[in-house]
Amino acid sequence: MEKDIKYENNNKVVTEWTCPHPGIEDSGLYEIKCKNYELCRETIPDWWFQCKGNYLCTGCHMMFGTWKNEKAGVNQTGKGVLDISDNLDCHICLEVKRSISQPNCEHTLCINCFQRCYYGDQDTENEPKFPYPDIEDEYDENPENPKWDNDYPLIQIYNTIWNKWDDEKTHKYTNEEHLRKCPLCRK
């Protein structure tokens, strides 16, 4: 597959990112929208095509792309780039909306229902807040430091609450695995 210069020029996003890999040409001025950008809202570095040969972010490639891992016995056969159309019936919410095709068939869902099915409930409104916002970055860099237990007693309570919240969210996502199949053909 050859670079699509027209796609790149029409889908640039200005950024201050710089390439961490020596030898790869990097302008550091822009990134390019993933081909599924309307769904995932991800961008890729301008050198991405040079390494990967496509315009899909890692998440879209892993979830919707075609790839094989013989050691793990995985054969992903999605279409990668999902088609977006206006004014189609959603088979979940039953509304006429902007819709996106399923990765393994040609049936469509509205973008909101598709996101819920494939990404789970993204509502972070109830996510527990870190009790000491002024040191949150320092804590994230070294959460095993014993000073957190001694000097900041609310961190242990926060970790317990956050782990419970995360487990519930993960459990809900796992229990809704059937939603990641087309509601019409079950592919």
* CB neighbour list of residue 56: distance below 8 Å, 6 or more residues apart: 34, 35, 36, 44, 64, 65, 80, 81
- Please give the pLDDT value at position 47: 84
Whole-angstrom distance, CA of residue 168 vs CA of residue 161: 11
**pLDDT of 95 over the 90 cut:** yes
> Domain segments of the chain: what residues?
5-77, 84-122, 133-175
Among 10-14, 25-29, 90-94, the least confident range? 25-29
pTM of the prediction? 0.65
pLDDT in tens, 105-162: 889 999 988 888 887 766 667 888 999 999 999 998 999 998 998 899 999 999 999 9
- Please give the pLDDT value at position 100: 92
**pLDDT of 4 over the 70 cut:** yes
Residue pointed to by tokens 């916002």: 133
Q: Tell me phi and psi for residue 156, to 5 degrees.
A: -65, -40
